[in-house]
Amino acid sequence: MSNETVQAVRGMNDILPEEAGLWLWFEDVVRDWLHGYGYRNIRMPLVEPTALFKRAIGEVTDIVEKEMYSFEDALNGDHLTLRPEGTASCVRAVLQHNLLYNAPQRLYYSGPMFRHERPQKGRYRQFHQVGVEALGFAGPDMDAEQILMCARLWKKLGLSDVALQLNTLGDADARHRHRAKLIDYLEKHEDVLDAEAKRRLHSNPLRILDSKNPAMQELIDAAPRLMDELDEDALAHFSELQEILKRHGISYEINPRLVRGLDYYNRTVFEWVTTRLGAQGTVCAGGRYDGLVSQIGGKPAPAMGFAMGIERLLVLLQEEGRKPTGQDVDVYVVHQGELAGKLASQVAEQLRDGELRVILHCGGGSFKSQMKRADASGACVSVVIGDDEAQADEVGIKPMRGGDQMRVGLSNMLSKINEFIERE
């Protein structure tokens, strides 16, 4: 056996306590924000049958073709996959538990997702999303609700430079007509297509429009446009959405090349993008997926959702100078001597009864070394107990941000300490 330390899997990050403070703050803000719109929490397993993602996301997508962590359960041979996204699982759960039976649903989840991508800044193999799904809503009022929600969150977080890109993919008929025309067009120019595009020509030609290959841009710019195939209903849906957004002063850019990497979308799709993260600039993305519920076995129901990448948003927040908060302790209790030790643990519990956050020193050592720990803990106050204090039913209180140590009786301890606590 090697003695080398074991490292985490590439692209899967530890979130250390220093950083976790920012995560906790972010999760609090997000939870309040979601509850402010009536969305309810749902928690799905991290592992699902592989067939679910193949059916929902599409066989000929990057995710299903090459990014899924799929494996065979060694005990029973089941084909399983670590979830690469949450929409498929969420819809599966809604159907399995019949949640759509009586009422539409506004749901959210958050947690890790897994994709075997090439890791780089803002792109990981285990990353975290907050996902929002509204099922049973057909109108553009829901599309608008979700976009307005996002705009409100950016404001709450203090992010100013995320821009909205919007597109509509129309409905299935329009997409079939467009697909046929597109294949026809691309076949006529097959000599310009790169290998990836040639491979996709018949399986997923729409994704060719997403190519960044400079040699194909002219061809892509002149390709048949889906917009020209849209029927009246889809156009009306899209223009109504835009009207609502304008009424609320939300600016956006229509990007006809926004096609998304998952096959379940129809009509509205959108992405919130920043230029500050290089190539991984999409911090939040989603759209309508009216066909998915029936595609995975339910009675047809319209739906709309989005997910944001927590790591990407946190990088932006860190760049804006947002510091972790909320993990400090109020009081550090140091003690020396047997009697003092007994009193110290009582005192710590008593202070916690008073809603203070308390570290009780463990592991002994001199007062001097214990005070060093107290200092490093960030506590506002240390409580100092020697046998002397213990015998008198008193404690020493030392304000850590300057000020002399004082002795107080146990009954005055809590109120005295509270005078020194800096509340956020």
Residues found near ligand HAM in the complex (CB under 6 A): 85-87, 115, 117, 122-124, 127, 129, 131, 133, 261-262, 282-287, 289, 305-309, 311-312
Q: How many whole angstroms separate alpha carbon 383 and alpha carbon 341? A: 12
Give min distance, CB of 150 to ligand HAM, in A: 11
Nearer to ligand HAM, 166 or 380 (CB): 166
Give min distance, CB of 262 to ligand HAM, in A: 6
| CA angle at 395 for the pair 390 and 396, rounded to the nearest 5° | 130
**230 is written with which tokens?**
């849209």
Nearer to ligand HAM, 89 or 336 (CB): 89
Nearer to ligand HAM, 63 or 390 (CB): 63
43 three-class SS: coil
Give min distance, CB of 258 to ligand HAM, in A: 11
Give min distance, CB of 264 to ligand HAM, in A: 8
Q: How many whole angstroms separate alpha carbon 380 and alpha carbon 109? A: 36
Nearer to ligand HAM, 205 or 305 (CB): 305
Give min distance, CB of 265 to ligand HAM, in A: 7
Give min distance, CB of 24 to ligand HAM, in A: 19
Q: How many whole angstroms separate alpha carbon 211 and alpha carbon 201? A: 12
Nearer to ligand HAM, 281 or 365 (CB): 281
Nearer to ligand HAM, 62 or 387 (CB): 62
What residues form DSSP beta bridges with 47? 82
Give min distance, CB of 210 to ligand HAM, in A: 12
Give min distance, CB of 144 to ligand HAM, in A: 15
Nearer to ligand HAM, 58 or 309 (CB): 309
Nearer to ligand HAM, 224 or 309 (CB): 309
Taking CA atoms, 176 is separated from 142, 190, 230, 338, in Å, by 26, 20, 11, 81
Give min distance, CB of 296 to ligand HAM, in A: 14
Handedness of CA 388, 420, 331, 412 (dihedral sign): positive
Nearer to ligand HAM, 226 or 284 (CB): 284
Give min distance, CB of 146 to ligand HAM, in A: 9
Nearer to ligand HAM, 175 or 267 (CB): 267
Instruction: Estimate the crossing angle of helix 50-57 against helix 87-96, to 10 degrees.
Output: 110
**Strand order, beta sheet including 79-82:** 47-49, 79-82, 69-72
For 164, how many CA atoms within 13 A lie in the half-sphere containing its CB? Answer: 24
Q: How many whole angstroms separate alpha carbon 328 and alpha carbon 330? A: 7
**241 is written with which tokens?**
């959405």
**54 is written with which tokens?**
């193949």
Q: How many whole angstroms separate alpha carbon 170 and alpha carbon 178? A: 10
DSSP codes of every residue in 138-194: -SHHHHHHHHHHHHHHHHHHT----EEEEEE---HHHHHHHHHHHHHHHHHTGGG--
Eight-class DSSP state of 6: P
Helix and strand tally (H, E) in the chain? 15, 16
Q: For ligand HAM, which residue has the nearest CB?
A: 309
Nearer to ligand HAM, 41 or 405 (CB): 41
Chain position carrying tokens 């997910």: 307
Distance of CA 197 to the CA centre of its chain: 31
Q: How many whole angstroms separate alpha carbon 332 and alpha carbon 401? A: 13
Give min distance, CB of 132 to ligand HAM, in A: 7
